[in-house]
Structure 1
Amino acid sequence: MSRPLVLGLTGSIGMGKSATAALFSARGIPVHDADAAVHALYAPGGAASIAIAKEFPGILAADGSVDRGRLRATVLGHPERLAALESLVHPLARRAAGDFLAAHAQAPVAVLDIPLLFETGGDARCDAVLVVTAPAEVQRQRVLARPGMDAATFESILAKQMSDSEKRARADFVLDTSLGFAHAEAEVDGILARLRGMPSPP
């Protein structure tokens, strides 16, 4: 049974991962958006919303979706609650990624866009990994410009993520998104050329 060559795409918050994913999509490469998949799981009737409601009573909004703000407040500062949540959500997210790859089995290349790729062991199912990066000050400016974001929230998110330097050290490809759109496009084209030159996966 054939399968695509799988490129994992990851990077810390504010590094330009979504914009880079869009460049692959624009070139006809199937891209799995893990964040969007989790949103679907948290939607009314979603597999995660049902499981989370059993584990954390009162966590659902009036429409039956997971109230993400309430959930965040419930697990913040409680490692055991966060671990329980992750034990529910991560397997469902992995299944969604597997379903995506099965649906695109005939594609030569497919991208798994996963923020916590290394942290959740998702790199094990990838043939190569691309890490997007940017200078720390550029990252900070981008994130703090987002609606509703403040410095404390930014720092708490960073604390849960593997450091940028460690991600870069583990990557097969690194793209600095602070160098402009034309640079990013050229880098993506080069990465695709190298991937297409790799042997087909078994």
Structure 2
Amino acid sequence: MSQLLRTSVARVLFSVLIGATTGLVLFGVTRLSGRDLFVVTGGIAGAVSVLMFQVYGRAARLTEVTVTVPQFSQLTFIVNDESRQVAWRLFVETVTRVSTQPLKHDDGLIRETLTSLYGLFATTREALKAARPSVPVSGGPTVEYLAITMLNRELRPFLSSWHPRLLAYENATPDGPESAWPDNADCRAELRVVQANLRSYALGFARLAGVKEGQLLIDGAP
């Protein structure tokens, strides 16, 4: 309570100081004439024009993007240059892993797939931690919201469900092939669903990043 009171008093004092300074400047300007008046008013006009250009530049870089992902019908984002950079990094991390590449019934190892998905979880989290939080525009979602939703609704449930089960089999039968794991087929079936969902998120990141050929890049990824 005392901290809140001190903060409120500081804000009032700061506001009084700003108001007094502004009044003093205006008083001085009204007493000017001739060349001095033109110099001061010209300087003020220049400062105002610079501020207006900055505001206009920020507004011009804002883009409205509609994304369709699992669990949602459509989400409308307002993105700027910073959020595009975050979305591009998340797109690259997603499409360069097995997260979006099909794993056939008898192809590859589930252990390698789980390891790759763990890597995607870690790099996505690190990318979000390293980036400056986006400021929501008009109350809409941000690229961070989309990424965290992907982590909590797709990656975390799948990994927390299947990693312990596969690990238990590996510990019980150290020399047994993964193909002999009784849950192999069920895990692969659920993995295909998760991969399809992650593909939608990857396409969403591509749209937010301004990638025109996002689907082609995903399909063409090795």
When normalised by structure 2's length, the TM-score is 0.27
Larger Rg: 2
Which is bigger in relative contact order (C-alpha 8 A, separation at least 6)?
1
- In the superposition, the TM-score normalised over structure 1's length comes to 0.29
Structure having the larger proportion of residues in helix: 2
